[in-house]
Amino acid sequence: MEWFHCNQCFTKKGTKFAVSSCGHICCSEWQCGVCGTCCSYLPITDEMKPQEKVFFKDPVKLFQSQMKHVCQVGIATFQQTQMELIIKHFKHRSDELEKHLNEVSRWLYFSCLFRENSDLKKQLSEMKRERVDLKKQFSELRKETDELKKPLSQRRVSPTRTELLW
């Protein structure tokens, strides 16, 4: 804890320092001389709780200590294993969903083809009926044409009203 000093007078001397609830270090315990806030103070002593002392430790040493602890306890390995499991789970789930998507896409494609086929069959049926009707019309027109080609004496025409008047 050699690095800290009073944030008001910047002295390193003295044995009594306190940290305020506003985060300033002071050598007196009244109003914070830095920001003027009325604060509660925590005396900086060897009797502080470990979670309070941690703010005054060298961050590099603290990091090294924690990394040593992380490696000893196997935290990194545990977390890595957990991440691998969740990645494996989501990859499997993704594969299942992709397979399902392909099946649904295929079903939709065939459904559209079936609908199109059904529509085409209806059109074909309608065209066949139309063809039959056109053949009948053609046949009738051919008969009329053949009849018109015959001389008048050979035609089988029923007398019309105008012919009766002559």
Residue 61 has pLDDT above 90, yes or no: no
Residue 165 has pLDDT above 60, yes or no: no
If you average pLDDT over every residue of the chain, what do you get? Answer: 81
Residue 100 has pLDDT above 70, yes or no: yes
Percent of residues, the chain, with pLDDT higher than 70? 78
Q: How many residues would you count in the chain?
A: 166
Q: What is the mean pLDDT of residues 69-77?
A: 74
Top mean-pLDDT range of 38-52, 53-67, 116-130, 139-153 = 116-130
The H-or-E segment that residue 33 falls in is none
Query: Which one, of 1, 42, 35, lies nearest residue 19 by Cα?
Result: 42
